[in-house]
Each structure stands twice: as C-alpha cells, then as structure tokens.
Amino acid sequence: MSDTKTMTKAELLASINQSWNDFQGYLMSLTPAQVTIPTDAAGWTALDHVLHLAHWENGMIALMNKQDRATAMGIDTATWNSGDYDQINAVLQQQTKDFALPEARNFVMGTHQRFISKIESLSEDDLHRPYNYFLPDSPRTEPLIELIYGNTVEHYPEHQSYIDKIVANRVSPGKEQVVARVKAGWDKLNTFLASLSAEQKTKPTDAGGWTIKDHIMHLAAWEDGLVALFNKQDRLKAMGIDHATWDSGDDAINAVIQKRYRDVSLEDVEEKRRDIHAQLMRQIDGFSEETLNGPYNAFNPNSDSSRPIVDNIIGNTYMHYADHMPWMAAIASSDQITKGELVARVQQGWDDLTAFIASLTDAQKTQPTDPAGWTVKDHIIHLAIWESGLVAFLNKQDRRTAIGVDEATWNSDDDPINAVIQSRYKDLTLDEVEAKRQTVHAETMRLINGLSEETINLPYNQYNKTSDSTRPIAKQIMGDTYMHYAEHIPWMAKIAEGT
C-alpha cells in the first residue's frame, strides 16, 4: 500500500481518478460478449467483478456517512461478522448477477459518482480519523484513508487481473449454444411485444421522442446491418448511414434510423423485423463453427478488427433485445413523467410539508395524539423511514431491510409495518426526528437527480429483481415522497388541533 499516512485529500482523489480511468479504459477494450459470457471457476463474469467493485464502494459511502456497512451492502449480520469475504462476496454477486449491461452501468457509475462526492465533502482530518470514529461500536482503528485506498487504487487492478484471466481463458461459444440464446431472446422479445396493444406501441414516447415502434425498427435496422455484413456487403449502405455519421457514434446513427423509419406503419415495421430476422437465422445456421468464431475482417476486408463474428451476433440480437425491453416497457406505461417534472413535484411537496411542520409548536408536535396514540412527531418519522426505504430501493438494496421490518410483518399489511416503525422511533427527540428527516430527504434528492430520464420510467422490477411489478420507478418515488406527504398533512393537522 502507498504511504497513506501523509497523503492529502487531493493526492488521494488524483490516485483514485488515475486508477479508475485506467480501469475504465481497459473495460472499454472488451466486447459485451467478453464482459457477460465467459466465467471464472466461481461462475463470475467480468461484469460480476465490475459490480463487485461498486458494491464495496457503496459500503464505503455508508462508512463515511457513519452508517452500517453490512446493511448498506445488503449483507446479514452473521455473514458480515464471520469475516468470510468469499461468502460475503458470493452474496453480493447474487444480488446483481442478472443485471443487464445498461442497468449495471447505471449502478456502477452512479455509485462511483456518489463515492467520489462523499470523499470530496470530507476534511483532511476526517480522512485520517480511525475506522471506529465513524462506527464507534467497531474495534477497528485503521485510518479511513487506508480503507478508501484499498477499495479503489488497489482494488481496481486486482480485479482487472481476474477479468484478464476470464477473457484469456474464454472458451468460444458453440454454434448450437449461440443459436439457442438468440432464439430464446427472440422469443422473449416477441412475448413482450405481444403483450402490448397497437396504441402502446405507437402513441406514448420516451424523453427522446421515441415510440416503441421506433425501438422495434431500431433493433431490426441493426440486424439488417448484420445480414449485409454476412453477405459481405456494406453495412453502412444497408443501414442507410453515411461515413461521417457512422464515425460520429451510436447516438447519431440511431437518430438517423429513427428519423428515417418513424412514419412507417406498425404492420410494415413488424413485417420488416421478421423478414430480417429470418434472413439472419438462415445465415447463422449456414455457418461452420470456425466461421462463427472467425474474425470480423473475414467478412469486411476493409476493417482491421479481429473481433470474433459471434460477438457481433450476440451484441446485435439477444443482448440488444434485453437492452431495449426495459425502455419499451417504460414507454408502454401510461405514467410517463420527465425527470424535471418529477423533481419539481417532489420539491414542492417537500416545501409544503416543511412549511406545515414549521407552523406548529413543539408542544403540538409532541403532545396531542390521534386515536391510535400517534403524535405529529410519529407521523414525521414515519414519512422519513418510508423515504429511507426509497433510498435503499434507488440504491438497488432491500427496502424491507432498510426499514427494519421482519419478513412476516412485511408480507402482512401496511398497518403492522407502520406500528413497528412507530414503536421503534417514538422515543426519539424532536430534534433527532427532524435531523433524520432532513438527512434522508437530502439523500433521496441526490439519488433522484442522479437518475437518467430513461431510468425514471423503468419498471419496478428493474430495481428489484425479486418482483414481477412493472410499475414505473417514478410511481414509487411519487408514492414515497410528495403523495405521501400530502396524505399525512391533514392527519397531522387534526392531531395538532386536538380533533
């Protein structure tokens, strides 16, 4: 380990930034197939290793916030206290092993951004304080800066070496395996599309103005480019893209595709999609194992890429479908909202709640009760605890664990959950309740502001893999913030009035 005893905050951040950028540059050299398909002896993909790094950064954020690391990372006390890092890491891997690439990217980049922001907020003295300054119940005394350094500058290259071995030892997928995966992805896409009405496919749009029909055509256009490549024809010409646009990147290419086909009927788009896919599958069926795993430039002599053809097939078929289905599901929902609108509503609700609370005396907040024995203070902490569950949810952690309710109570009804919350926090002082309310809400707003327009309207089960709910994430945010505040303000007003 570098001599962190004399390291300044600026030097620490510079070291982290250099190591992070080196690691990101390495990851950019890998294909989606390399990141998601081959595994090590423990069954981890390269993506699992990248997510692992984010999990431990998330634990460090909790430590710097003087919060329990195990709870923040979704690790039960017994497992954490065992000190068995293989077991802890296995639990973390299970939490995110089903993340698609876009979902993983959001989690990793969002966590890292929050991690760096938290370090930036600390003083030089804070960085050199002992571990048990942040968690007084711990016997550990090593300086915080050592933990940060070990979870970043030393952690990134450690896992890059593991990923290197996974990629180097990659066993090329067989044709039968590839065909099966493409077919399974195609069937899943068709099942999803069949669940939508024609109106859902053509009327609602995302923040970029795309309909589901646009997404369907987008998928077909990229497969069409693959068909042209396998016919040893020009992909750009087949997709109708000029060289300048092609060289400028995917966003520009996709904008041209969307504009070109946006006025094509749904029936024509669907017919084109199926025709192109049928051609592609005939081509793949005709490939030998050697051809399938041969280099890209065997089909395009003008390219110097030796990337295996199979990677192009994977990236333009079932992985591409998986990328777009959450976005299409969000569009299909009638509850679309922009991030700006959502933030404005939450902020207005918060301001209304804060103004109402400020209008009451301490006696009104703590003395009168409703028929169930709740004070206004109890209602305030109730709102904060449910919002802390939202914070956990947006961090892709378990809401129930964050709220602190056992599974049987959680699965029963809201009333027993709320009774547990009220009983646990009823003896907190008014100042402690208000401090928690402010802290939780500040974290809520940081997380919401860090979400993309697309993420805001993703379905619930993209953040909670154990759920089959497709309710948009925006609705969860609404329900745990301004709609919840508005629900409780009249009840608190009645208590304050003694009615």
CA distances to 108, 188, 310, 317, 489 from 321, rounded to whole Å, are 22, 9, 16, 6, 45
Tell whether 1 is covered by a domain. Answer: no
Are 191 and 315 contained in the same domain? yes
The C-alpha atoms of residue 422 and residue 389 are separated, in whole angstroms, by 15
Q: What angle do CA 423, 70, 470 make, to 5 degrees?
A: 75
Shared domain for 232 and 362, answered yes or no, is: no
Residue 2 lies in a domain: no
Q: Identify the domain boundary among 297, 332, 367.
A: 332
Q: Looking at this protein, which amino acid is placed at residue 371?
A: P
192 and 143 in one domain?
no
- pLDDT for 207 equals 66
Q: Are 325 and 370 part of one and the same domain?
A: no
**Cα–Cα dist 307/30, whole Å:** 10
- DSSP structure class, residue 297: G
Report field, pTM of the whole predicted structure over 0.85: no
Angle ∠(488,494,498) on CA atoms, nearest 5: 145
Is 389 in the same domain as 472?
yes
Quote the tokens at residue 354: 């804060």
How many angstroms separate the CA atoms of 28 and 297, rounded?
20
Question: Is 256 contained in some domain?
Answer: yes
Alpha-helical runs (H) found in 231-265: 235-239, 243-248, 250-261
**For residue 58, what are its two tokens?**
């998330």
Sequential DSSP letters for 259-275: HHHTTS-HHHHHHHHHH
- Does any domain span residue 4? no
Torsion of Cα atoms, 280 then 285 then 290 then 291, to 10°: -30
Domain termination site, one of 153, 168, 183: 168
Q: Rounded to an integer, what distance in angstroms lies between the CA atom of residue 363 and that of residue 367?
A: 5
Q: Residue 398 carries which DSSP code? A: -
In a shared domain, residues 159 and 92? yes
Give the span between the Cα atoms of 416 and 424, in whole angstroms: 12
Q: What tokens were used for 293?
A: 């795993």
- What confidence score (pLDDT) does residue 116 get? 92
**pLDDT at res. 490:** 82
Angle (CA) 111-115-119 rounded to 5° is 175
Q: What is the CATH number of the domain that holds 237?
A: 1.20.120.450
What is the residue range of 241's domain? 175-332
What total of structural domains would you count in the chain?
A: 3
Q: How far apart (Å, rounded) are the C-alpha atoms in residues 191 and 213?
A: 15
Burial of 77 (0-12, 13-18, 19+ CB in 10 A): exposed
Neighbours of 123 (CB within 10 A): 9
Distance of CA 401 to the CA centre of its chain: 19
Instruction: Provide the CA 219 distance to its chain's centre, in angstroms.
Output: 23
Please name the amino acid found at residue 233. Q
- Residue-level pLDDT, tens digit, the chain, 499 residues: 567 888 999 999 999 999 998 998 899 888 888 888 888 889 999 999 999 999 999 999 999 999 999 999 999 999 999 999 999 999 999 999 988 777 788 789 888 988 998 999 999 999 999 999 999 999 999 999 999 999 999 999 999 999 999 988 877 778 998 999 899 999 999 999 998 889 889 987 776 789 999 999 999 999 999 999 999 999 999 999 999 988 888 888 999 999 999 999 999 999 999 999 999 999 999 999 999 989 988 998 888 888 889 989 998 999 899 888 878 887 886 556 788 889 998 999 999 899 889 888 899 999 888 878 899 999 999 999 999 999 999 998 888 899 999 888 888 777 889 989 999 999 999 999 999 999 999 999 999 999 988 888 888 887 777 777 777 888 889 889 988 998 888 888 888 877 5
Q: Are residues 123 and 256 in the same domain?
A: no
Among the three residues 134, 168, 202, which one is the final residue of a domain in this structure?
168
Task: Verify that 387 and 268 share a domain, yes or no.
Answer: no
Instruction: Give the angle 90-396-104 at the CA atoms, nearest 5°.
Output: 75
CA-CA distance, 418 to 234, in Å (whole number)? 63
Q: Are residues 492 and 346 in the same domain?
A: yes
How far is Cα 349 from Cα 381, in angstroms, rounded to an integer? 16
The SS3 call for residue 201 is helix
Radius of gyration of the chain (CA): 26
Q: What pLDDT does residue 103 have?
A: 76
Q: Which amino acid is at 451?
A: L
Beta bridge partners of 39: 45
| Residues 131 and 209 both lie in one domain | no
Distance (Å, whole) CA 491 – CA 489 = 5
Residue 68 gets the label, from left (phi > 0), alpha (psi -120 to 50) or beta, of beta
Judgement on whether residues 160 and 183 belong to the same structural domain of the protein? no
pLDDT at 429 (0 to 100): 95
User: CA quadruple 181, 192, 256, 36: dihedral positive or negative?
Assistant: negative
Domain assignment present for 474:
yes
Same domain, 49 and 92: yes
DSSP 3-state assignment of 373?
A: coil
